[in-house]
Amino acid sequence: MTKVALLGTGIMGAGMARSMSRAGLDVTVWNRSADKAQALGLPVAEDPASAVRDADVVVTMLFDFESVCRVMTEALPAMRPDAVWLQTSTIGLDETGGLAELATKHDVSFVDAPVLGTRQPAENGQLTVLAAGRRDERLEPVLDAVSAKVVWVSERPGDGHRLKLVMNAWVLTITAGTAQSIALAEGLGLDPQRFLEMIAGGPLDNGYAQLKGKNMLTGEFTPAFPLSGATKDAGLIREAADDAGVTADLAGALERLFRAAGDQNDDMSAVIRALRVDQK
C-alpha cells in the first residue's frame, strides 16, 4: 500500500486527504493548525519531519511559497532518499524553481503539480492535475485518487505552474467579469438575474459564471476558493506576465479588485463587493 504524507489540510488539502483515504491509501497528515488535521479522522503527525519519515510520496498543499519552503526545509532531511515530493500548491514560477533546487540538494525527486479545482472537486477526487517532472509509478495511485484528469505538461518542473497561471488568469477574469456585469445591471436599475438568463445556454454562457454569479446574487460567500487565494494568484500572474514581456495591466487590475473586496476568507465571488457602489 502506498504511504502518503500530506502537508497542509486547508480547504483543498482536507478534500485531497479524504479522497486519498477513500481510495485506500495509507495517509498521514500534518497541518500548522492541528485541529484542522485532527478533524479528518486520519493519523496526524506532530511535525512535518515525522509526517514524511516513512512516506513513499509527500504531497504539499499549502498557501504560498513561504509556507511550503518553511515546512519542507524541516521535512526534506527526514524524507527517504527514494521518496517523491508532489508539490501541488500554487506558488509562482521562480519559486517553483527554488523548490526544485531545494529538492535536488536533498536528492529527492520533485514533481511540480498544481491543481485546477476548488473545494468540491477536491472532496470528490475530481481535480485536474497539471504535472511537470519525471514520471514515477508510485504517483499513479495518488493522482488517481485526487483527480479526474492528469495532464503531464513536460519533464521540466515549472511547466505545470506555467499552465496553471494561464488557466487561473482565465478563471479570475471570468469571475471578475461576471461581477462587473451583475454590478452594472444593478446600478442601471435592472434585475441582475436577467444577465445570467441572457447568457444561459448560448455561446456566451459559462458554468463558472453561472455558479459564481449565483453566489453574487444570493450573497453566499462560503469559501470554495477564497479571495486570499485569488489575490495571491492574480499577483503571481502579474509577475509572470511582466517576466514574459506580456502586458500585465489586466492581472494588476484583478489583483487590486480581489484585494479590495473585503474579508479575504470569503469566496472569490465576493469580488462583487469591490464593484458595487453601495459597498465601496
Q: pLDDT tens digit string along 76-130?
A: 999 999 999 999 999 999 999 999 999 999 999 999 999 999 999 999 999 999 9
* Axis crossing angle, helix 159-187 with helix 249-260, rounded to the nearest 10: 60
Q: pLDDT tens digit string along 17-70?
A: 999 999 999 999 999 999 999 999 999 999 999 999 999 999 999 999 999 999
Nearest-angstrom CA–CA distance, 208 and 214: 10
Q: For residue 74, what is its C-alpha cell?
A: 524541516
- In degrees and rounded to multiples of 5, residue 189 shows phi and psi of 80, 20
**Domains of the chain with bracketed CATH:** 3-154 (3.40.50.720), 162-279 (1.10.1040.10)
Mean pLDDT of 204-214: 97
Check if the beta carbon of residue 159 is closer than 8 Å to that of residue 110: no
Check if the beta carbon of residue 2 is closer than 8 Å to that of residue 138: yes
Check if the beta carbon of residue 132 is closer than 8 Å to that of residue 160: yes
Buried b (16+ CB within 10 A) or exposed e, 81-93: eebbbbbbbbbbb
Residues of the chain with pLDDT > 70: what percent?
Answer: 99
Nearest-angstrom CA–CA distance, 179 and 102: 40
How many Cα atoms are found within 13 Å in the side-chain-facing hemisphere of 190? 13
Spatial neighbors of 26 by CB under 8 A, at least 6 apart, are 1, 2, 3, 4
> What is the model's pLDDT at position 1?
84
Check if the beta carbon of residue 86 is closer than 8 Å to that of residue 109: no
